[in-house]
């Protein structure tokens, strides 16, 4: 169920990230005020910061889950409360792995480090 993802890691000033030129349909996981993981190739991204770090990052695996799949998995493997707002990003420990979650009204994307993918997939039952 978890598949390799090509993300772009951006490290820049918060102001430059706020105004980055990223296609509107692309998901941006703002992991910190000065850092984001973008579900797109770096060639589609522009940041107005000459010192920004913009690199393709292949160190992640991810899977989309319907809420029918996600709710039982999260109940068994996530000890923290999800934000109610959608769409939104959350991050924390899920299935004993550091995870980023992209939450939409009808589905959820889980993103985990490549080195944890097999363990998380085992917990997902895939």
Distance from C-alpha of 94 to C-alpha of 73, rounded to nearest angstrom: 9
- Assess whether pLDDT exceeds 90 at residue 4: yes
Burial class (CB in 10 A: 0-12, 13-18, 19+), 8: buried
pLDDT digits (tens, 9 = 90+) for 91-103: 999 999 999 999 9
pLDDT single digits (tens) 43-72? 999 999 999 999 999 999 999 999 999 999
Q: 72-83: per-residue pLDDT in tens?
A: 999 999 999 999
Q: 10 Å Cβ neighbour count for 85?
A: 8
- Render pLDDT for 11-20 as a digit per residue (tens, 0 to 9): 999 999 999 9
Over the chain, what is the mean pLDDT? 96
pLDDT at residue 126 is higher than 80: no
Token pair, residue 117, equals 């993918």
């Amino acid at each position: 169920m978890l598949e390799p993802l090509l993300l772009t890691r951006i490290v820049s000033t918060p102001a430059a990230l706020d105004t980055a030129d990223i296609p509107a349909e692309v998901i941006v996981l703002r992991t910190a005020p000065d850092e984001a993981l973008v579900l797109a190739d770096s060639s589609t991204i522009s940041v107005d910061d000459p010192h920004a770090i913009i690199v393709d990052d292949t160190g992640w695996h991810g899977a989309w889950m319907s809420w029918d799949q996600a709710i039982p998995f999260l109940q068994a493997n996530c000890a923290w409360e999800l934000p109610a707002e959608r769409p939104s990003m959350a991050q924390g420990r899920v299935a004993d792995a550091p995870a980023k979650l992209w939450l939409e009204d009808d589905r959820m994307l889980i993103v985990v480090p490549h080195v944890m993918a097999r363990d998380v997939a085992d917990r997902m039952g895939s």
